[in-house]
């Protein structure tokens, strides 16, 4: 008799934890359509109108996107080579890179930052913010 009552109760507890976790993840996830660049909000379409295009060659082949160095120069009033840049993703992942990486990097239309000749751990997807440090 004890197992017949305990197992359904444990199953309900597990289900409630799963539902609670899903609700928490959904509530904390940023669904923004814009990218915050040095305190200003831009849509991906705006970004592609502002900055020059660049094509980089990586393991996957040639990929085109907006030149990150040109984007920073055109959207901020900072000394580009004097700073480092932090890319923040929707899922909380972030990566900080020096100006030398920015000169070889692109932002794709899919909100992904790719740096030529660097490890894939420096690449960030679902960008929501570019911060100057």
pLDDT in tens, 18-38: 998 888 776 655 556 899 998
Q: What is the mean pLDDT of residues 59-82?
A: 92
Q: Which pLDDT score, from 0 to 100, does residue 31 have? A: 52
Residue 126 in tokens: 């679902």
Reported confidence tier of residue 77, pLDDT bands at 50, 70, 90: confident
Reported confidence tier of residue 78, pLDDT bands at 50, 70, 90: confident
Given a contact cutoff of 8 angstroms between Cβ atoms, the answer to whether 107 and 68 are in contact is: yes
Closest CA relative to residue 35, chosen from 46, 27, 25? 46
Q: Which of the listed CATH numbers 1.10.10.10, 3.40.50.2300, 3.90.420.10, 3.40.630.10 matches domain 34-132?
A: 3.90.420.10
Q: Which pLDDT score, from 0 to 100, does residue 75 have? A: 92
Domain boundaries, the chain: 1-30, 34-132
Measured CA to CA, the distance from residue 65 to residue 106 in angstroms comes to 5
């Amino acid at each position: 008799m004890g197992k017949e009552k305990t197992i359904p109760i444990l199953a309900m507890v597990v289900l409630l934890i799963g539902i609670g976790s899903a609700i928490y993840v959904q509530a904390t996830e940023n669904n923004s359509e814009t990218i915050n660049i040095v305190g200003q909000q831009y849509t991906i379409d705006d970004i592609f109108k502002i900055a020059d295009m660049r094509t980089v060659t990586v393991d996957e082949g040639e990929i085109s996107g907006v030149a990150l160095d040109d984007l920073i120069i055109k959207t901020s009033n900072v000394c580009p080579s004097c700073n480092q840049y932090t890319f923040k993703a929707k899922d909380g992942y972030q990566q900080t890179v020096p100006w030398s990486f920015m000169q070889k990097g692109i932002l794709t239309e899919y909100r992904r930052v790719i740096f030529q000749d660097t490890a894939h751990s420096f690449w960030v997807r679902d960008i929501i913010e570019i911060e100057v440090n």
